[in-house]
Amino acid sequence: MRIFAFILALIGIGYPMAGQAEMYIAGQGGIVLNPKFTNVEGTGPSTGIPGSDLKLQNAIMYGGKVGYFFESIPWLGIELDTYYSTPHLEQQNVSRFYGVPGVVGVTQTTATTGAHQKILTGTGNLLIRYPGRVFQPYFGGGAGLSYSWLSGLAVPTATPGVFQYKNDHDMAIQFNAIAGMRFFLTRHIAAFTEYKYTRAQFQFDNVQIKADYAAHIFAAGISLHF
């Protein structure tokens, strides 16, 4: 009977709260897994010339959040999510086409050094949650801006096997999807864990490439609710 009563109590505290406005701020940290550049193409004089996908290193991420759930619709909220990471380019073999695309040429593969990359992201998200008193699963998505800095990137020249080292930066629109779970430790303090999938297209004209950036992010943090 005691176990049965305990289970009923847990179910009871999980019922939705009465409608009320709710604002929160949060700190977060986590890891960026399997980041990569795909659909790599040349720009400028290299426009239309395809390149090989580029592997990026897994990286630590950290940042913060500010969110608000509406009084009249307690399961719906908006959130500003910002975070910083350093998914550097790995040392790897890269392929480059030399010649006239669709006419004549040759593709050569060359070993290249990596490069440093820093990414700062800020997105606005729409969230849907189950407004339980203790457990709050949620999901959503949104878009925003992502700023990438590249430094020390080895850029192939017209001479096979010869590179120039350049720096570049770009700001791009980033899209993301989110799914997570929040657990309230007290009425105003909660712990959360979440998964994010992010995607953006960067164009680095100084190093004459554009590419689609994608990554899987697993984060956790503490939020303070008002």
On whether residue 90 sits in a domain, the answer given is yes
Q: Report whether pLDDT(116) > 80.
A: yes
On whether residue 11 sits in a domain, the answer given is no
Which of 25-34, 40-49, 97-106, 158-167 is most confident? 25-34
pLDDT band at 86; cut points 50, 70, 90: very high
pLDDT of residue 150: 92
Q: Report whether pLDDT(4) > 60.
A: no
First-last CA distance in the chain: 37
On whether residue 180 sits in a domain, the answer given is yes
On whether residue 8 sits in a domain, the answer given is no
Residue range(s) defining the domain that contains residue 84:
22-225
Q: Average of pLDDT values for 183-198? A: 97
Q: What residues form DSSP beta bridges with 24?
A: 67, 225
- The CATH code of the domain that includes 145 is 2.40.160.20
Number of domains in the chain: 1
On whether residue 129 sits in a domain, the answer given is yes
Q: Report whether pLDDT(27) > 70.
A: yes
Tell me the two tokens of residue 93: 């073999």
pLDDT of residue 107: 62
On whether residue 15 sits in a domain, the answer given is no
On whether residue 66 sits in a domain, the answer given is yes
pTM for this structure?
A: 0.82
Least confident of 11-20, 33-42, 73-82: 11-20
Least confident of 11-15, 48-52, 78-82, 111-115: 11-15
Q: For residues 144 and 122, is the Cβ–Cβ distance under 8 A?
A: yes
Element (H, E) at 164: strand 163-184
Q: Average of pLDDT values for 92-109? A: 60
pLDDT band at 127; cut points 50, 70, 90: very high
Q: Which residues contact 96 (CB under 8 A, 6 or more apart)?
A: 49, 51, 52, 107, 108, 110, 156
Q: Which residues contact 17 (CB under 8 A, 6 or more apart)?
A: 74, 131, 132, 133
Q: For residues 206 and 168, is the Cβ–Cβ distance under 8 A?
A: yes
Q: Average of pLDDT values for 55-76? A: 96
On whether residue 111 sits in a domain, the answer given is yes
